[in-house]
Structure 1
Amino acid sequence: MSDNNLKTASVLAFERKLDPSDALFFSGNWSERTASKAWPGIALNEKSVRGTISNRLKTKDQDPTKLDAAIENPNLQTVDVAALPADADTLKVRFTLRVLGGTGTPSACNDAAYRQKLTATVATYVETHGFTELARRYAINLANGRFLWRNRIGAEQVEVQIARLIDGKADKTWTFDALALSLRGFDIDGAASASLDELAALIAGGLAGRHHLLLEISAFVRVGAGQEVFPSQELILDRGRGDKSKTLYHVNNVAGIHSQKLGNAIRTIDTWYPEAAELGPIAAEPYGSVTTQGKAYRQPKAKADFYTLLDNWMLKDKMPDKGNQHYVMAVLVRGGVFGEAG
């Protein structure tokens, strides 16, 4: 029975429970990926290019004379680039991932009754489902190399090595052929399945707070000697005149991928939204936002968004279907500030 006096807390925040570091880029050769020698970091270089006018023209600019005049003024650009050296054919991407316990326990909540109801609801979910389904999906997104983003496309071979670190040393290591695992779904059979089950059990235990878990993920991507690789691009809000038109992310001049981008890839597990059968998994976000498509797939109007599902579950005791229970928990694992708007 629902408690009519219960309201959503005005202050309600959750810390993220999957905590990746930035990923750094290194170069070497495919045949040396199991060797213990250190691979050198990939530095950024600047390139100045003379482009041509290629943007869509307004009607008044389509006059041949005007267009010829515009083409005489070249489109000069300075951009950052990252590429493998001429004698290296493989990109190594390395990062660590902490899995934290206390899922569903708010880091800030100013309403004791709401906190109590939330804790009881999460406890019921854990008792019924555990974190098995979420953990397996997170494990698959590590094994299939989804976190490589554009670097995975067109690669000849991709191998992902995942090690559990205890006292700074690898306690156990799993190796996956990333290209053999689909990005479209989470039904995995065959040789990789047993390793994924082991890894998922560890992640589930970490989310449940049963043990400390730190993973080191190393992906080896065979793209070809001297080929360009793709770190994160920086968002420059205050762009002055004469600046670079593309600025890439680096840590001490070693190219890298933002931790936020890695987190987005790892939590791309939502196949419970209305159009999932056609479009495949999206990141677990409160409104199912996919910025590259400019679309939110979980609309409040359709009662498919996180806030509607959470409020129905907490305030009205309307338990979502099994898939949307997983989704709500995945958003709590993501973390964020979810209090009632003032």
Structure 2
Amino acid sequence: MTTTTPLKTASVLAFERKLDPSDALFHAGDWQARDNWQPLAVREKSVRGTISNRLKAKDQDPAKLDAAIENPNLQTVDVAALPHDADTLRVSFSLRVLGGAGTPSACNAADYRQKLLETVQGYVGAHGFGELARRYAHNLANGRFLWRNRIGAEQVEVQIAHLVDGKAAKQWTFDALGLSLRHFDATGPATAALTELGSLIADGLSGERHVLLGVTAYVRVGVGQEVFPSQELILDRGRGDKSKTLYQIGGIAGIHSQKLGNALRTVDTWYPDAGDLGPIAVEPYGSVTTQGRAYRQPKAKADFYNLLDNWLLKDKVPSEGDQHFVMATLIRGGVFGEAG
């Protein structure tokens, strides 16, 4: 008589990310000419601020407030701005799309690994990577990765090249402001190009071809205008440090690869109570740090771990949207083993 041991989540379970962006670099130039691009440097600025923070009740005495205002709020901050003979910011980075989506890089349980691979194959057979790839392509074309630099820009053009042997085998150009950040429905002349780009990314995720993309965005913001690289998190400030430190690579302002990756995976519209907020970044608990809220709560069985365990261990197939979410989380990568 044979007894089957119930399948358990592997204690070691890890996935490598399959969308692998480089850091982005900032250059300044002219929208019309586009032939002379200067690296954009980060510089320091010292400013004299005033007391403007919310005061505790004990500090709201008029005499105390007047005394506090007499002491200036002196700050040294990093700033990045276009020179006064350039009206356009160029943001450029590369993106590798890797195959093997859903295949763990580490898994210490052979039976769990086998069931996982069978489940992933079932998903690919039913849906393929078309829907996720279409959304990733849309987030490249609409310039979501520009973050604050996209806001208030007069024009934004995104050029995406499929690089083969270091040369552009195919290139697409998009009017980023003509594509929505709230949904993934494209109409007009961009539709065919988005379909082509999405198909290429899907081929990369399925491992059918090597996919390396060169992404360049041209953002017309105006001469001398401030632009916004990533801000560094300084854990140990010490004495006399700047109150804001901006990211730079070899003296050139830039955006962290992690921030680019977050923008590219902002494809989750399947979370509970999805409404006016629009898509959120794919995270196991649907975390949106700017709102201090997790949209995929374990209590509601809507988080990645509950969905994955129900799918693999209990054969409860999630809805189609939640299947896309689980696969997008595996593409994001991470360590998902059972807690010890």
TM-score, normalised by the number of residues in structure 2: 0.98
Q: Which runs of 5+ in 2 are unaligned?
A: none
Which residue number corresponds to residue 32 of structure 1?
33
Q: Partners in 1 of 2:25 and 2:265 — Cα distance? A: 20
Which residue number corresponds to residue 246 of structure 2?
248
2:64 is the alignment partner of 1:66:
yes
Across the aligned residues of Structure 1 and Structure 2, the Cα RMSD in angstroms comes to 0.8
2:6 is the alignment partner of 1:8:
no
Q: Is the CA contact 1:4–1:315 (under 8 Å) kept in the aligned structure 2? A: no
Partner-residue secondary structure (3-state), 1:206: helix
Q: Is the CA contact 1:96–1:216 (under 8 Å) kept in the aligned structure 2? A: yes
Which residue number corresponds to residue 228 of structure 1?
226
Which residue number corresponds to residue 179 of structure 2?
181
Of 315, 321, 324 in structure 2, the residue corresponding to residue 323 of structure 1 is 321
Which residue number corresponds to residue 131 of structure 1?
129
Count of residues paired in the alignment: 337
Which residue number corresponds to residue 86 of structure 2?
88
Q: Is the CA contact 2:155–2:219 (under 8 Å) kept in the aligned structure 1? A: yes
- Give identity over the alignment, percent: 77
Which residue number corresponds to residue 149 of structure 1?
147
Q: Partners in 2 of 1:278 and 1:121 — Cα distance? A: 33
Q: Partners in 2 of 1:276 and 1:228 — Cα distance? A: 34
Q: Partners in 1 of 2:96 and 2:130 — Cα distance? A: 17
Q: Partners in 2 of 1:9 and 1:201 — Cα distance? A: 33
Which residue number corresponds to residue 207 of structure 1?
205
- 1:263-278 to structure 2, matched below 5 A, reads 263-278=261-276
Q: Is the CA contact 1:16–1:335 (under 8 Å) kept in the aligned structure 2? A: yes
After TM superposition, give the deviation of residue 38 of structure 1 in Å. Answer: 4.8
Which residue number corresponds to residue 112 of structure 1?
110
After TM superposition, give the deviation of residue 39 of structure 1 in Å. Answer: 1.1
Partner-residue secondary structure (3-state), 1:94: strand
1:107-126 deviation per Cα after TM superposition (whole angstroms, max 9, x unaligned): 00000000000000000100
2:158 is the alignment partner of 1:171:
no
Q: Partners in 2 of 1:38 and 1:266 — Cα distance? A: 29
Partner-residue secondary structure (3-state), 2:281: coil
Partner-residue secondary structure (3-state), 2:44: strand
Q: Which runs of 5+ in 1 are unaligned?
A: none
Q: Partners in 1 of 2:309 and 2:292 — Cα distance? A: 26
Which residue number corresponds to residue 217 of structure 1?
215
Partner-residue secondary structure (3-state), 1:170: strand
Partner-residue secondary structure (3-state), 2:218: strand
Deviates more, 1:269-278 or 1:308-317: 269-278
After TM superposition, give the deviation of residue 86 of structure 1 in Å. Answer: 0.3
Q: Partners in 1 of 2:276 and 2:58 — Cα distance? A: 41
After TM superposition, give the deviation of residue 276 of structure 1 in Å. Answer: 1.4
After TM superposition, give the deviation of residue 263 of structure 1 in Å. Answer: 0.1
Runs of 4+ in 1 over 6 A off after TM superposition: none
Q: Partners in 2 of 1:170 and 1:265 — Cα distance? A: 24
Partner-residue secondary structure (3-state), 1:174: strand
Q: Partners in 1 of 2:265 and 2:192 — Cα distance? A: 21
1:152-176 deviation per Cα after TM superposition (whole angstroms, max 9, x unaligned): 0000000000000001111111000
